[in-house]
Chains A and B, each alone.
Chain A
Amino acid sequence: MTRTIKTVGVCGAGGTMGAGIALVAARAGFKAISFDMSEGALDKAAKQSVDFLDKSVARGKLNGDKRDAIVAAMSRTTSIDGLRDCDLVIEAVFEDLSIKRDLLGRLDGACAEDAIFASNTSTLSITEIASGSEHPERVVGMHFCLPAQLMKLIEMSPGILTSDETFRTAWQWTEACGQMPVKTQDKPGFILNALLVPFNNDAIRAVEAGVAAPADIDRAIKVGLGYKMGPLELLDLIGLDTQVRLCEAFYPITLDPRAATPPLLRRMVAAGLLGRKSGRGFFDYQGNAMFGA
């Protein structure tokens, strides 16, 4: 029998992704409990959420009553026991297998015996994460895109031991939230990152190989393919240090040469050129000058 989901917990809700997921749940009428170890992070996330809702009201996308209802549906806790009434718990903690496995073990003890656990991992194996729980049949992959409150896509992945009921219930919940789930196998990077991370690396290698300047590469991709952003502009937005971390997560498990960290990327990160957040990456965001790699 399919479990009815009424209350949703979000672990790591002090982060940008976790806060966005909590908003998605509350906006759809579910009770959303944000869990994080850091009270300060939860305070910051709560303020960002309220700011987002207020902007939505100001832009006429949300009425005041609905905004108040969403805020009222959201609560927070720094104790994992605060998640005990959750029917679904989504983890969006740091992308580290041991941390996620440990968290699932703790959730086993804190939550009801039929609660569903979902992982928002973008790179790790759902099956491996689920091995941290005594009930891997109740663990499912549920990868939101950033920012979760704006992006409709969710990559849904069953682990080897995930039950059909768990997968179906989690899938239905994403639909009830107005999201658009797609089903993927439990493989590194699922669909999105499996295609994007190597593609972005290829763009970096094209710069390194002197194929063209970054601005010419991005223009070609945007004009020729109709993409909204070029790969190098996107990398600057993501953060070049983040791309290094993605490569370091992907390459050891795929051994795909395209997923290996490009030498230029390492040099740029070492030089402090991290992209927009440092003011300079492949492009200069102060003077708009192009980085001459």
Chain B
Amino acid sequence: MTYAIEKNGESRSFPEGDAFLNGAVDRDQADVVIYSGVRFMSDLRKAVILVELGEECLGDHIGEDDPAVTNVLGFARYRNCDDLPSRLIELVRHPKTSEAAIAAAREVFAAAGLEVSLCNDQAGRIINRLVVPKYNAALRFLDEGLATQTDMDLTCKLGLGYPDGPIERVMRGGLASYYGVSKGLFDAFGTPAYAPPRRARIAFKQATTGSAPAKR
């Protein structure tokens, strides 16, 4: 399965230097077209059209009722904010997406050594929807003095086998960037669990006013 990449600026899924970029061919020769930062174009001759997503939904790009989008899928390679991308692709389907298009997308990503989780078009997809309330709770617990950062992180590593603790993970990814993720989900769901935590709000404010570095 050959693929072309139409992009404007750096892709969050495939930043400069990522090996996946080297495998791209010309659009005319490609079975698959990947759009990143560029408005996508319908093309039913292609096996699948892949639209890279940020925090937004696939529906923001293709609408909800267009019957000509059976071969269009959204995707995002999961990143913990400013950390390097993981091996996970969250592949976002639409109600009208064909199984053939999903299979083609899986094939392209699997060939690049990436693993795919298929999800429906909902805010936060899978990981951010699940981890943001947990990270927000951990940051709140830290404010409330439940335990030290070290002990909270150690508890999650020793007790749950996590590779890193929630606080160290959020800090490493960048609190200011994390604010944007949390805020986006809070706007989408309106539930307090997604409300940006105090520390992230401060970090974002400092980053945007230039009074402190964006990270930590």
Q: Please list the residues of chain A having a beta carbon within 8 angstroms of any beta carbon in chain B.
A: 145, 151-153, 155, 180, 182-185, 187, 190-192, 194-196, 198-199, 202-203, 206, 209-213, 216-217, 219-221, 223-229, 231, 257-258
Cα(A221)–Cα(B80), bound, Å: 12
Instruction: Please judge, given known A-B contacts A191-B151, A210-B120, whether A151 and B134 are in contact too, CB under 8 Å.
Output: no
B123 to chain A, nearest CB (A): 10
Minimum-distance CB pairs A-B, first 4: A153-B158, A224-B88, A182-B151, A212-B119
> Which listed segment binds A: B13-21, B54-62, B66-74, B139-147?
B139-147
What class of interface size applies to chain B in its complex with A?
35 or more
Q: A195 contacts B158, CB within 8 Å?
A: no
A258 to chain B, nearest CB (A): 6
Q: A202 contacts B117, CB within 8 Å?
A: no
Q: A206 contacts B129, CB within 8 Å?
A: yes
> Which listed segment binds A: B45-53, B159-167, B176-184?
B159-167
Complex interface residues of chain B between 72 and 108 (CB less than 8 A to chain A): 78, 86-88, 90
Q: B133 contacts A199, CB within 8 Å?
A: yes
Chosen A-B contacts, 13 in total, with CB atoms closer than 8 Å, are A145-B158, A182-B154, A185-B147, A191-B146, A198-B137, A199-B131, A202-B133, A211-B119, A221-B127, A223-B88, A225-B127, A225-B131, A228-B161
Partner of A192, one of B125, B131, B134, B159: B159
Q: Does B118 lie at the interface of the complex (its beta carbon under 8 Å from any beta carbon of A)? A: yes
10 other A-B residue contacts (CB within 8 Å) besides A195-B134, A209-B122: A182-B151, A191-B147, A191-B152, A192-B156, A199-B131, A211-B126, A224-B86, A225-B86, A227-B163, A257-B193
Chain A minimum-CB-distance residue to B122: A211
Q: Please list the residues of chain B having a beta carbon within 8 angstroms of any beta carbon in chain A.
A: 78, 86-88, 90, 115, 117-120, 122, 125-127, 129-131, 133-134, 137-138, 141, 144-148, 151-152, 154-156, 158-164, 166, 191, 193
Q: B115 contacts A195, CB within 8 Å?
A: no
Q: A194 contacts B146, CB within 8 Å?
A: yes
Q: B193 contacts A258, CB within 8 Å?
A: yes
A102 to chain B, nearest CB (A): 29
Instruction: Please judge, given known A-B contacts A217-B126, A220-B126, A224-B88, whether A182 and B160 are in contact too, CB under 8 Å.
Output: no
Q: A191 contacts B155, CB within 8 Å?
A: yes
Residues of B within 8 A of A153 (CB): 154-155, 158-159
Q: A216 contacts B160, CB within 8 Å?
A: no
Cα(A185)–Cα(B151), bound, Å: 11
Q: A151 contacts B87, CB within 8 Å?
A: no
B80 to chain A, nearest CB (A): 8
